[in-house]
Amino acid sequence: QQQVKQSPQSLIVQKGGISIINCAYENTAFDYFPWYQQFPGKGPALLIAIRPDVSEKKEGRFTISFNKSAKQFSLHIMDSQPGDSATYFCAASMYDTGNQFYFGTGTSLTVIP
């Protein structure tokens, strides 16, 4: 059973455009929602994360929007650049499980110059 559902599976965006990736979860015990960026042949790297006590978090061009009632969260990449082309994974965890993460299925983002 997929604990975290992610969409779209792939995304193509023009340089300068906005990339939006969505995730949904069911388990209300999750209390930490990170996004990871992964380049081919590399391990995932933490991009940005949010806790359910806030509805939005922004770091540079990356913003997480969180809707607790809908159990959804999304990643927005503003002014998308070719260097942003990578696979993005959302995840969710409960701190009392010792950082065991449940990952979404991933979104392959391609930013066209």
Partner 1 sequence: GAVVSQHPSRVICKSGTSVKIECRSLDFQATTMFWYRQFPKQSLMLMATSNEGSKATYEQGVEKDKFLINHASLTLSTLTVTSAHPEDSSFYICSAVRVAGPIFGPGTRLTVL
Which of residues 48, 81, 101, 110 is near partner 1 by CB under 8 A? 101
Mark residues 55-94: x for contact with partner 1 by CB under 8 A, - for none: --------------------------------x-x-----
Part in contact with partner 1 (CB under 8 A); list of ranges 14-22, 23-31, 43-51, 61-69 = 43-51
DSSP structure class, residue 8: -
The β-bridge partners of 65 are 56, 74
Q: Is residue 22 within 8 Å of residue 76, measured between CB atoms?
A: no
Rounded distance, CA 70 to CA 37, Å? 24
Q: Which two tokens stand for residue 30?
A: 């999750």
**CB neighbours (10 Å) of residue 60?**
10
Which of residues 49, 52, 65, 76 is near partner 1 by CB under 8 A? 49
DSSP structure class, residue 61: T
User: Least distance from C-beta 69 to partner 1, angstroms?
Assistant: 25
Query: Which of 20/49 has CB closer to partner 1?
Result: 49
The β-bridge partners of 38 are 87
Q: Does 32 bind partner 1 (CB under 8 A)?
A: yes
Part in contact with partner 1 (CB under 8 A); list of ranges 11-19, 21-29, 35-43, 67-75 = 35-43
